[in-house]
Amino acid sequence: MTDDEARVRRAIDGLHYDFSRFTIPHFIAHLEALRQREIILNGVAFDGRLHGLWVRAETADYVFFDSRTHPVHRVHHILHELGHMVLGHRLYDLTAFLSPELVARLRATLSPELHGHCRRWDPHDSPEEREAELFVRLLQQKILLAGRLTALTHPDTSIDALSRFTRSLGYDG
């Protein structure tokens, strides 16, 4: 096991999460309680170069995922962004990576400062991106072993149940 893998495994163990109860909403509620911060999901029709996006605003964490991709991929992108949060990765100024239009809309709806992570088509370009992907793979293994595969492969119901976590920002693409 590499140091990176050991670190990611420790972070997952540190969540003390019962994977036999895994659904995306249940896992997010667990993280919210643990971190004492709201996590709000938003499905957005991205322009094709983005997979997912995490913005750490003052009062909540916002996770955007591409609403047009297959549900299995949506879950993957959500877990990837949650991985950055759980692993305590440093934040980037997102204005350097996002289109000016998206930046303007996020600033108007979320926060003047846009700090966080974004997942583009070339996701494996930094150690943090690799760690977030490792987080997803290890989580998938635990979910599989706990007999919760359908929460990954048929997450539609699970994602529909996310209304509590989803806030309309008047922004859908």
- Which of 119, 135, 139, 158 binds Zn ion (CB under 5 A)? It is 119
Minimal CB distance to Zn ion: which residue?
119
- Which of 53, 85, 132, 159 binds Zn ion (CB under 5 A)? It is 132
Closest to Zn ion by CB, 66 or 129: 129
Contacts of 19 (CB under 8 A, 6+ apart): 142, 143, 145, 146, 148
Strands in 50-56's sheet, in edge-to-edge order, are: 38-44, 60-66, 50-56, 115-120, 92-93
Q: What is the CA radius of gyration of the chain?
A: 15
In whole angstroms, give the CA distance from residue 19 to residue 1: 22
Q: Is 55 in the site for Zn ion (CB under 5 A)?
A: no
* Stretch binding Zn ion (CB under 5 A), from 11-19, 27-35, 111-119, 159-167: 111-119
Paired sense of beta strands 115-120 and 50-56, if any: antiparallel
Closest to Zn ion by CB, 89 or 148: 89
* Stretch binding Zn ion (CB under 5 A), from 2-10, 102-110, 122-130, 164-172: 122-130
Name the token pair of 58: 């003052």
Q: Are 52 and 81 in contact (CB under 8 A)?
A: yes
Closest to Zn ion by CB, 24 or 148: 24
Site string for Zn ion, 59-98 (x = CB under 5 A): ----------------------------------------
In whole angstroms, give the CA distance from residue 78 to residue 40: 11
Write down the least CB distance from residue 18 to Zn ion, Å: 26
Strand-pairing partners, residue 64, are 42, 53
* Stretch binding Zn ion (CB under 5 A), from 18-26, 39-47, 125-133, 141-149: 125-133
Q: Give the residues lining the site for Zn ion (CB under 5 A).
A: 117, 119, 129, 132
